[in-house]
Structure 1
Amino acid sequence: MNGKLPHIVQYQGSKRILAPQILQYIPKKINRLIEPFSGMAAITIAVAMQKRASHYIINDLNEPLVRVLSEAVNDPFGLVKDYKKIWEAQFDFVGGSIEHYYKVRDDFNAGDRSAANMLYLLARCVKGAVRYSNAGCFNQSPDKRRNGTSPKNIEKNISIISSMLKGKTDFMSKDYREVLKLARPGDVVYMDPPYQGVCSSRDNRYFSGIDFDEFVEAIEGLNKRKIDYIISYDGSCGDKRYGVDLPEFLGLKKVLLNAGLSSQSLLLGKKEVTFESLYLSKNVQKSVPLQKNCQLSLF
């Protein structure tokens, strides 16, 4: 991939670092790229940077997150202006920047779920890690070591992102199965759902998990309709596995992407490499040569 991939803000679970590896399995020219579990849409941005698709669909159940993406693309200067006002207010806030963060978080949870408030919480919270309570309230703590991404850096990145996606992107906040119904032959669906272990029950990074059997059924539906798709779903680190393989009858190929050394294992004095799984649908397998620098598990 040519050039550095722009991003709006740090976001835990983002596929930004793995994007160059994932792009190796996405055809060079497609009609639309559809992301039903977009997060901060790193793969959409990566595909747009290489002009591989004519149109994009970005969806996530986290509606304020989608609002950030929509405004970043369609009204980048308005979003930066609103964000800058919130970001600068922390330095004059009575009680300091930490209390300012909690004030913005309280406002957000009370109903002011504007794109600028969401962006500030993402920019300032610990490790860019979204966390929600059972009641659906944002409850992640602030990172006390930094003040969040500067408006200048955000403006630079979202200006680039807007130039690539404006007028070419639809934004949604629906159940992933509704979004899959929109897919047509010639599109590619990239799915990065909650990892197994959190899929069958509520996970505090998401408004809801996904049911494994329902997900498999949805994939079967894509097969029947001859829709091309790629799925990031499980992984491993050392002897530890995260989830089980998707069923063999789906006819997928599982590629293991090298995600680098595990930071957790390094803290324990080990050097264990983390691998994340990428599942390729039948037609994607045929149209894109498998890469030599990735491990492959054949079903």
Structure 2
Amino acid sequence: MSQHQILSTEPKPFVKWAGGKRQLIQTIDRHIPVQFGTYFEPFLGGGAVLLHLLGKNPEMKCRVSDLNSDLVLSYVTIRDRVEELITSLQTHAKNYHKNPDSYYYGVRESEPKSQIEKVSRLLFLNRTCFNGLYRVNSKGKFNVPLGRYSNPNIVNEENLLSVSRVLQSKKIQIICRDFAAVLSDAKKGDFVYFDPPYQPVSKTASFTSYTNKDFTYEDLANLVDVSEKLSDKDCKVLHSNSNSKEVRDLFSKEWKIVEVAANRSINSDSTKRTGQKELLIKNY
């Protein structure tokens, strides 16, 4: 594949992550400020919004972070060592196609120590597990069963090269840290996008366990507090969250709340997947 072909593909998320924003990207795009200084995204996840913005403006200054160290390691590895990662994924793909079941569960049980193998395992499991969703149990173990895919795209070389290329900008920092750290870095005119694990809309919908520390109501209240302080510093702040009373009630009248249609595929019951609304909340 020529360099030119690679350059022509817009980078897309390389993992499917709980609450991923790929389906909503056009809607969110309409609410991105026209001008801003540095872009901050403290719950990076699959990075749909970051990659979309970089696809349009590769020179954008960014400081993005996540508390999931395995995920941050994946971004750094794709940026710095993508060729080695692709080779490792090609090996996984070859072995998987020989015997999907036993190979999948063998990899799921494994605990590789090297950077390449750790990231390769995460991407392999993400591509082949049920519903393609990364999720760990209370002991921090990945526990999702094998998915039934006839031909999963395990390597996805073109996209990995595209993501690697766009992340190599000297203007991007990728860090593993808590969301509150953004307060000391963001300055007037900067833009902060918060996409935290969503507050459950109902008692049964509490899907926040893609790291083994749940994001609680207290965490959300703290996040709103951080947002108010960012607002006082004249930062532009945008939130995504569920259409729940808790979320609406925590934000003061100064914030604009926009309802958007969301088609979430996270509910295992497909009849409950459609017609959901979620919120975009902003101070500009």
User: Above 0.5 in TM-score?
Assistant: yes
Distance, in Å, in 2 between the alignment partners of 1:35 and 1:243 is 22
User: Is 1:225 aligned with 2:233?
Assistant: yes
TM-score by length of 1: 0.78
Residues 180-219 of structure 1 show CA distances to partners (whole Å, capped at 9, x for unaligned) of: 4221223211111011139xx9942223233232222212
Instruction: Confirm or deny: 8 A CA contact 2:42 2:194 kept in the other structure.
Output: yes
> Equivalent residue for 1:80?
86
> Equivalent residue for 2:259?
256
User: Is 1:145 aligned with 2:149?
Assistant: yes
Instruction: Confirm or deny: 8 A CA contact 1:77 1:155 kept in the other structure.
Output: no
Distance, in Å, in 2 between the alignment partners of 1:117 and 1:192 is 25
Instruction: Confirm or deny: 8 A CA contact 1:124 1:146 kept in the other structure.
Output: no
Aligned length: 267
The structure carrying a bigger helix percent of its residues is 2
Picking from 98, 102, 106, the partner of 1:103 is 106
Distance, in Å, in 1 between the alignment partners of 2:92 and 2:28 is 35
Picking from 173, 190, 193, the partner of 1:190 is 193
> Equivalent residue for 1:293?
none
Q: CA deviation at 1:146?
A: 3.6
Structure 1: runs of 5 or more not aligned: 236-240, 286-299
Q: CA deviation at 1:41?
A: 0.6
Distance, in Å, in 1 between the alignment partners of 2:123 and 2:268 is 31
The structure carrying a bigger strand percent of its residues is 1
TM-score by length of 2: 0.82
For the residue of structure 1 that corresponds to 2:40, the secondary structure is strand
Larger displacement relative to structure 2 (127-136 or 178-187) = 178-187
Residues 3-50 of structure 1 show CA distances to partners (whole Å, capped at 9, x for unaligned) of: 866232433421011111111111234332111111111100011111
Inter-CA distance 191–156: structure 2 relative to 1 (3 Å threshold): same
For the residue of structure 1 that corresponds to 2:60, the secondary structure is strand
Instruction: Confirm or deny: 8 A CA contact 1:124 1:147 kept in the other structure.
Output: no
Distance, in Å, in 2 between the alignment partners of 1:78 and 1:271 is 38
* Alignment of structure 1 residues 166-245 onto 2, 5 Å: 166-167=168-169, 168-197=171-200, 203-210=208-215, 211-235=219-243, 241=244, 243-245=246-248
Letter in 1 for 2:154: S
Picking from 14, 20, 31, the partner of 1:25 is 31
Instruction: Confirm or deny: 8 A CA contact 2:200 2:207 kept in the other structure.
Output: no
Letter in 2 for 1:117: R
Identity %: 25
Instruction: Confirm or deny: 8 A CA contact 1:192 1:231 kept in the other structure.
Output: yes
> Equivalent residue for 1:291?
none
CA RMSD after TM alignment: 3.0
Picking from 56, 59, 64, the partner of 2:62 is 56
Inter-CA distance 45–242: structure 2 relative to 1 (3 Å threshold): farther
Q: CA deviation at 1:263?
A: 9.1
Instruction: Confirm or deny: 8 A CA contact 2:10 2:55 kept in the other structure.
Output: no
Distance, in Å, in 2 between the alignment partners of 1:98 and 1:25 is 44
Distance, in Å, in 2 between the alignment partners of 1:53 and 1:16 is 22
